[in-house]
A and B are shown apart, each in its own frame.
Chain A
Amino acid sequence: MIEKLDAVFRRESGRALATLIRLLGDFDLAEEALQDAWAAALDTWPTRGMPDAPRAWLVSVARNRAIDRLRRRKMQIEKERLAEALESSSAEFGRDELEDDLLRLVFTCCHPALAMEARVALTLRTVCGLPTASVARAFMVGEATMAQRLVRAKAKIRDARIPYRVPDRDLMPERLDGVLAVIYLVFNEGYAASEGEGLMRRELCEEAIRLARMLNSLMPGRSGVQGLLGLMILHHARRDARQDSSGDVVRLENQDRTRWRGDEIREGQRLVESSLRLQAVPDPYAVQAAIAALHAGAASFAQTDWRQIAGLYGVLMRLNPSPVVELNRAAALSMVEGPGRALECVDALAARGELEGYWLLPATRADLLWRLGRHEEATAAFDAAIALVRLAPERRLLERRRALAAKVSTWR
Chain B
Amino acid sequence: MQYLLLIYNNEAEMAAARGTTADGEMMSAYVDFTRDIVRTGHFKAGDALQPTSTATTVRVRDGKTLITDGPFAETREQLGGYYMIDAKDLDEATAIAARIPGAWSGSVEVRPVMVFSNGPA
Cα distance A113–B111 in the bound complex, in angstroms:
12
Q: Across the interface, do B1 and A161 meet the contact criterion of CB distance under 8 Å?
A: yes
Q: How many residues of B contact A (CB 8 A)?
A: 10
Instruction: Tell me how far the C-beta of A237 lies from the nearest C-beta in chain B, rounded to whole angstroms.
Output: 38
Interface of A, secondary structure class, is: loop
Cα distance A111–B93 in the bound complex, in angstroms:
14
A247 within 8 A of partner (CB): no
A171 within 8 A of partner (CB): yes
Interface string of B55-89 (1 = CB under 8 A from A): 00000000000000000000000000000000011
Could you jot down 7 A-B contacts, CB within 8 Å? A159-B112, A160-B110, A161-B112, A162-B89, A162-B90, A163-B90, A167-B91
- A47 partner residues in chain B, CB cutoff 8 A: none
A76 within 8 A of partner (CB): yes
B94 within 8 A of partner (CB): yes
Chain A residues numbered 105-133 whose CB sits less than 8 Å from any CB in chain B:
111, 113
Q: Across the interface, do A160 and B112 meet the contact criterion of CB distance under 8 Å?
A: yes
A52 within 8 A of partner (CB): no
Q: Across the interface, do B89 and A163 meet the contact criterion of CB distance under 8 Å?
A: yes
- B114 partner residues in chain A, CB cutoff 8 A: 159
Q: How many residues of A contact B (CB 8 A)?
A: 11
Instruction: Tell me how far the C-beta of A174 lies from the nearest C-beta in chain B, rounded to whole angstroms.
Output: 11
- A162 partner residues in chain B, CB cutoff 8 A: 89-91
- A76 partner residues in chain B, CB cutoff 8 A: 117
A96 within 8 A of partner (CB): no
Cα distance A104–B112 in the bound complex, in angstroms:
22
- A171 partner residues in chain B, CB cutoff 8 A: 91
Q: Which of A159, A162, A167 has its CB near the most chain B CB atoms (within 10 A)?
A: A159
- A78 partner residues in chain B, CB cutoff 8 A: 117
Which residues of A come within 8 Å of B, CB atoms?
Answer: 76, 78, 111, 113, 159-163, 167, 171
Cα distance A218–B22 in the bound complex, in angstroms:
47
- B89 partner residues in chain A, CB cutoff 8 A: 161-163
Q: Across the interface, do B117 and A163 meet the contact criterion of CB distance under 8 Å?
A: no
Cα distance A159–B89 in the bound complex, in angstroms:
10
Q: Across the interface, do B112 and A163 meet the contact criterion of CB distance under 8 Å?
A: no
Closest 3 CB pairs of A and B: A163-B89, A161-B89, A160-B112
Q: Across the interface, do A160 and B90 meet the contact criterion of CB distance under 8 Å?
A: yes
Which single residue of chain B is at the shortest CB-CB distance from A175?
B91
- A167 partner residues in chain B, CB cutoff 8 A: 91
- A163 partner residues in chain B, CB cutoff 8 A: 88-91
Give 4 new A-B contacts, CB below 8 A, not counting A113-B90, A160-B90: A78-B117, A111-B90, A161-B90, A171-B91
- B90 partner residues in chain A, CB cutoff 8 A: 111, 113, 160-163
- B1 partner residues in chain A, CB cutoff 8 A: 161
Cα distance A7–B97 in the bound complex, in angstroms:
45
- A159 partner residues in chain B, CB cutoff 8 A: 112, 114
Cα distance A78–B114 in the bound complex, in angstroms:
16
Chain B residues numbered 89-121 whose CB sits less than 8 Å from any CB in chain A:
89-91, 94, 110, 112, 114, 117
Cα distance A159–B114 in the bound complex, in angstroms:
8
Which single residue of chain A is at the shortest CB-CB distance from B110?
A160
Q: Which of B1, B91, B94, B112 has its CB near the most chain A CB atoms (within 10 A)?
A: B91
Cα distance A161–B88 in the bound complex, in angstroms:
8
- B117 partner residues in chain A, CB cutoff 8 A: 76, 78
- B110 partner residues in chain A, CB cutoff 8 A: 160
Cα distance A161–B117 in the bound complex, in angstroms:
16
Given A161-B89, A163-B89, A113-B94 contact (CB < 8 Å): yes
Instruction: Tell me how far the C-beta of B99 lies from the nearest C-beta in chain A, rounded to whole angstroms.
Output: 14
Which single residue of chain A is at the shortest CB-CB distance from B92?
A163
Cα distance A162–B112 in the bound complex, in angstroms:
11
- A111 partner residues in chain B, CB cutoff 8 A: 90
Instruction: Tell me how far the C-beta of B111 lies from the nearest C-beta in chain A, rounded to whole angstroms.
Output: 8
- B88 partner residues in chain A, CB cutoff 8 A: 161, 163
Cα distance A378–B29 in the bound complex, in angstroms:
59
Cα distance A78–B110 in the bound complex, in angstroms:
26
Cα distance A221–B114 in the bound complex, in angstroms:
42
Q: Which of A160, A167, A171 has its CB near the most chain B CB atoms (within 10 A)?
A: A160
Cα distance A222–B112 in the bound complex, in angstroms:
34
Instruction: Tell me how far the C-beta of A268 lies from the nearest C-beta in chain B, rounded to whole angstroms.
Output: 35
- A161 partner residues in chain B, CB cutoff 8 A: 1, 88-90, 112
Chain B residues numbered 1-47 whose CB sits less than 8 Å from any CB in chain A:
1
